[in-house]
């Protein structure tokens, strides 16, 4: 993220909407990961403004997806050490649905599998392990995922985690 920020800053001019989109998007994502929702929203809106000014549909879709994905990452990490309250889960549910609806509306396919992965991981957060296993199994064969965004072994680990919570320890060990 720091490299992306440096690149955007070094190439931006006052009216360089592309650089502003990228810069603000990275800041928004960073704040989401830190749980700083107000700052994240402010930079989200800044990025969105510049993306709309450009007519950059891909960035608008990425912004919507990133908001769901980075908030999900934050809540998954938080769940390891603390209770995640229902309000946070409700907000995340809406953000995932918004990202999915935008994909359907624009008929874009670039982030569809990533959104399905978010939905599966959200099911784990909700402790709906049977449904999460089904969703993760469907994702197992999905393509294309960039190597830096997807790891089959991690999907297997998530399935094993769900199986463990369903008291299916032998199956979890097999995976």
Distance (Å) of CA 172 to CA 19, 76, 84, 165:
46, 20, 25, 9
Kindly indicate the confidence band of residue 165, based on its pLDDT and cuts at 50, 70 and 90: very high
- The rounded distance, in Å, linking the Cα atoms of 68 and 25 is 13
Residue 107 confidence (pLDDT): 74
CA R_g for the chain: 17
- DSSP letters for 73-91: HHHHHHHTTSPPPHHHHHH
For 67, phi and psi rounded to 5 degrees? -60, -45
pTM for this prediction: 0.83
Nearest to 71 by CA among 102, 40, 98: 40
- pLDDT per residue as tens digits for the range 108-163: 665 677 888 899 999 999 999 999 999 999 888 776 666 666 678 889 999 999 99
- For residue range 49-82, list pLDDT tens digits in order: 999 999 998 899 889 999 999 999 999 999 989 8
pLDDT of 12 above 70: yes
Q: What is the pLDDT of residues 86-116, one digit of tens each?
A: 999 999 999 999 988 888 787 766 567 788 8
| Summary mean pLDDT of the chain | 88
Q: What is the pLDDT of residue 5?
A: 78
* 48 pLDDT higher than 80: yes
Please tell me the predicted confidence (pLDDT) of residue 143: 64
Looking at residue 9, what is its pLDDT? 78
């Amino acid at each position: 993220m720091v490299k992306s920020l440096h690149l955007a800053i070094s190439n931006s001019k006052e009216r360089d909407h592309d650089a502003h989109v990228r810069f603000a998007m990275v800041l928004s994502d960073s704040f989401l990961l830190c749980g700083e929702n107000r700052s994240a929203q402010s930079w989200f809106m800044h990025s969105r403004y510049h993306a709309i000014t450009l007519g950059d549909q891909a960035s608008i879709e990425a912004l919507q997806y990133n908001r769901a994905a980075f908030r999900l990452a934050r809540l998954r990490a938080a769940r390891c050490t603390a209770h995640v309250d229902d309000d946070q889960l409700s907000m995340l549910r809406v953000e995932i649905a918004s990202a999915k609806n935008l994909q359907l509306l624009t008929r874009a396919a670039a982030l569809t599998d990533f959104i399905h992965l978010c939905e599966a991981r959200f099911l784990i957060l909700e402790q709906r392990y049977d449904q999460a296993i089904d969703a993760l199994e469907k994702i197992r064969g999905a393509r294309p995922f960039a190597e830096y965004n997807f790891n089959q072994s991690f999907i297997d680990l998530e399935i094993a985690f769900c199986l463990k919570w369903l008291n299916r320890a032998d199956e979890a060990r097999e995976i």
